[in-house]
Amino acid sequence: MSAVLSDLNCNLVNVVLWTRNTRAAAVIHLVDQSTNSPITDVDKIRKIKIRLNCILKQRNISAGVKIIVSVGCIKNIERRLHKLMYDEGYFEIDSQDVSGGDTMGPTIMIKNWNDKDYSVVTVRCNDRPKLLFDTVCALTDMMYVIFHGNIAIEGPEAYQEFYIRHVNGSKVKDEDRERVIHWLKEAIERRVSEGLKLELSTSDRVGLLRNVTRIFREHSLTVTRADMSSSEGKAFGTFYVRDSSGGAVEQKRFETIREALKESVLHVEEQVGQTSKSTKQSLVNFLRRIVSGNVLFSSWFLISYAK
């Protein structure tokens, strides 16, 4: 995608990409390469959408491609990514989601509290940054309102308890229980990327992301998650990568990647799952953050697809 956008004289200012199972979602901040301003030309936007559709469909993506263009602002990129992933409508339930067979994943239980007309959702999993944000986003996307919540941290483990109702006033129905558990698990696990974490720092220039992803591809690396931004002539990127064949990535491969990136600084850090401890904060302060965030004005392309 970065190569196609570069060919269309688009400069990528910020890119955030998430992948999970066979789905991917990205928010791409573009400006016109010649003017460094938002892209407002209707014909050019149409060409961009056509070219991106062609690229994605050539990758055997049968479940469809969704490309949304927004000229204006996106207050919270990660909130938008959660919504894009949810809107894909991927509801294939893994039996481990509800049977508790996945001992390494989160434990999620839902019980209806008939006396108070609430459903009580409990989540136990390894603690990490933005865990609360992710679970509340999932419940919000499914149109559930949180009336009360309890959050606790016990060593490396986080415990969350939510008292919820659907926006129509009902508790979680029996036929919806598996879907709610599934989407909570998806929201928790999609941010935890397996593989190696690469941190890149370099001077900003046109076509940078195109060159970086080309170098990764030439060294048989698949990007599972990316976050790249630029400011004041500098570009900073975090990439989670794994070998395209599924095997281990040798350290010497990154030495040749460093040479190909020339003056760029590349730091390699092994990802060890959910190890970081999240900041404790009240539910009230968290909910304020849902509607806050930096506002960026330009052309935004929101892309989601599933194989």
Other beta carbons within 10 Å of 270: 8
- Residue 134 reports pLDDT greater than 60: yes
Q: For 254, phi and psi rounded to 5 degrees?
A: -75, -20
What average pLDDT does the structure give for the chain?
79
pLDDT at 92: 54
Give the mean model confidence (pLDDT) for residues 95-99.
46
Closest residue by Cα to residue 71 from 40, 45, 50 = 40
pLDDT at 119: 95
| Beta-bridge partners for 301 | 28, 69
255-293 pLDDT per residue, tens: 888 888 876 788 887 654 434 333 344 444 444 443 443
**Per mean pLDDT, which range of 19-33, 153-167, 276-290 is the poorest?**
276-290
Which carries the bigger pLDDT value, residue 151 or residue 96?
A: 151
Give the mean model confidence (pLDDT) for residues 154-158.
91
Output the CA torsion 300→242→125→293 (10° steps): -20
pLDDT at 39: 85
What confidence category does residue 135 fall into, taking pLDDT thresholds of 50, 70 and 90?
very high
174-229 pLDDT per residue, tens: 999 999 999 999 999 888 766 788 899 988 888 888 889 899 999 898 888 899 98
pLDDT at 299: 53
User: Are 265 and 201 contacting, i.e. CB atoms less than 8 angstroms apart?
Assistant: yes
Give the SS3 label for residue 178. Answer: helix
Which carries the bigger pLDDT value, residue 185 or residue 249?
A: 185
Residue 31, H or E segment: strand 23-32
Q: Is the pTM of this model over 0.75?
A: no
Most confident of 1-10, 148-157, 284-293: 148-157
What confidence category does residue 246 fall into, taking pLDDT thresholds of 50, 70 and 90?
confident
- Residue 97 reports pLDDT greater than 50: no
Amino acid identity for residue 185 in this structure: K
